[in-house]
Amino acid sequence: MSNITVCSRFRPLSSKEKINHGDNVCVHGIDAETFVFKDEKEEDFSFSFDRVFYEKSEQAEVYEFLALPIVRDAVNAINGTIITYGQTGAGKTYSMEGPSILECDEKKQGLLQRAANGLFECIKSTEGAVKHTIKLSMVEIYMEKVRDLFDLSKDNIQIKESRVQGIFLSGVTEIAISDPAEALQILSSGIANRAVGETQMNMASSRSHCIYIFTVQQELAKEKRVKCGKLVLVDLAGSEKVEKTGAEGRVLEEAKTINRSLSALGNVINALTCGSSGKANHIPYRDSKLTRILQDALGGNSRTALLCCCSPSSSDAPESLSTLRFGTRAQHIKASPRARCKEDYTKNHEASHATKYESRERILNKMRERMKLEDVKLLEELFILEGIFFDANSVEELEQAFEDVTMQTISSLHQAVEDLVCTTEELKRENKALKARLAAAERLNGLQTEAVENGNANVLQKISDLLSQFVSWVRSLSAFKMPK
């Protein structure tokens, strides 16, 4: 068990902050790991992290301390995750990408460019590898949907889990890369598809959480095995206060969704660090797409680093203090990273020679140990009807299929409930309209009776006016189409 690495980074003051608030800053550095933070009430708070990067820190310093050890581990088949966190405009995307993914000098390159270079450099120095492949995927979580930034037609990718792969994105585009330059070109095309928008705090504010996934696989001839590691970099969208960003309309809805997912992330951190020792504690990973994807990174099979990006301006003191407290809680998360290796893959392929019938029987026997007999019989009938058979050497595909069926059933139930709600609302509207027509008819009948009894011309005029209004109302009602 090891704690995740947590660092904080303070960007330089912006020209707007200098004009509005002068050179006043809310952070006073003590050393490379500790500083004093002053909030809006002039109260001092002391914070300590694995490393603190102040205003004049270089991009290379951040990479070498925070990311390089994780890049090396990914090449050695240990999954790694690097997350940038903080309010909007705090420097997260700059730390991740630099000024531009392609057009920037080496000194300003962000974690992405350096990680791509680092992966290939580490592979070159690996002894015994006869073949290697690096594949790149890129998605964003926008309005609680996972979108493939290399294939925009895949706009609702499902998050899956298996014993071997852990958490993975089903059907996500994976592009093989041969060198760092190619990786940057591909990353540039994905970044161009990312959702961004303008707010009063940021001209190009990220409107989504962006996730970059490098999958590294190496075949080791002497040991007859395959090493497989995953490097995940996560550029979180910033938390926002509407009174500061001036968000309206669509941008406001995006901000609400971003804040909800970041709140879910905070709840997961709290559950991981505040639970009673020795007791099983529910971790709400499934409360958002973000926390579900980060499940392995937060207390699972991954070496994780968190970079808390902050503004040094006193005007942003409340938001920066919240970010730092988040980082302090995250320091207590325990992770269990371990290497992922596949044994001699040629032997495994040769061993799968069982007939379909034998495969099915072995799977059903395994299922009978874990499920009710009637459920197993039902699945057996489905297997026969659909012609679905699985590799008996692994239960992974079976569990995945079972999960798919479950998710499809839940989705169908949700759709049925939504349809029922729509039908109910439509009936309510029709009922309301009928009541209104009945009330109008009763009122009209009353006026007619009054006119007959009194012979009052004014009453007749009222009836005429009311009839005109009623006819006009009925025409507008008939033209109105009920939503389906």
Amino acid letter, 109: Q
- Number of H helices and number of E strands within the chain? 15, 19
Residue 60 and residue 118: Cα distance in Å, rounded? 12
SS3 content of the chain, % helix, strand, coil (to 5): 50, 20, 30
Closest to 399 in 3D by CA, of 390, 410, 408, 388: 390
Query: Which pLDDT score is estimated for 443?
Result: 81
Query: Which pLDDT score is estimated for 349?
Result: 40
Query: Which pLDDT score is estimated for 275?
Result: 63
Does residue 87 have a known ligand-binding role?
Answer: yes
H or E element at residue 305: strand 303-310
Query: Which pLDDT score is estimated for 344?
Result: 41
Does residue 92 have a known ligand-binding role?
Answer: yes
Does residue 257 have a known ligand-binding role?
Answer: no
Spatial contact of 378 and 405, defined as CB atoms under 8 Å apart:
no
Residue 317 and residue 311: Cα distance in Å, rounded? 8
Query: Which pLDDT score is estimated for 16?
Result: 87
Written as one string, the DSSP assignment of 386-428 is HT----TT-SHHHHHHHHHHHHHHHHHHHHHHHHHHHHHHHHH
∠ Cα 254 259 263 (to 5°): 150
Query: Which pLDDT score is estimated for 205?
Result: 63
Q: What is the pTM of this model?
A: 0.70
Closest to 67 in 3D by CA, of 125, 97, 3, 112: 112
- Please compute, for residue 441, the number of CA atoms within 13 A of its CA located in the half-sphere on the CB side: 7
Kindly give the confidence (pLDDT) of every residue in the chain, 484 residues in length, as a single tens digit, with 9 standing for 90 and above: 567 999 999 999 988 888 888 888 999 999 999 999 998 888 999 999 999 999 999 999 999 999 999 999 999 889 999 999 999 889 999 999 999 998 778 899 999 999 999 999 998 887 766 688 999 999 999 999 999 999 999 999 999 988 777 889 999 999 999 999 999 999 999 999 988 766 555 555 678 999 999 999 888 766 677 888 999 999 998 876 666 656 567 778 888 888 899 999 999 999 888 765 555 678 899 999 999 999 988 888 889 999 999 999 988 899 999 999 999 999 999 877 877 665 544 444 444 434 555 666 777 777 777 777 777 777 766 665 555 544 434 445 555 556 556 666 666 676 778 778 888 888 888 888 888 888 888 887 777 776 666 656 566 666 667 667 666 666 665 555 444 4
Query: Which pLDDT score is estimated for 105?
Result: 86
Does residue 88 have a known ligand-binding role?
Answer: yes
**Going by C-beta distance under 8 Å and a sequence separation of 6 or more, which residues neighbour residue 110?**
59, 94, 95, 96, 97, 98, 101
Does residue 158 have a known ligand-binding role?
Answer: no
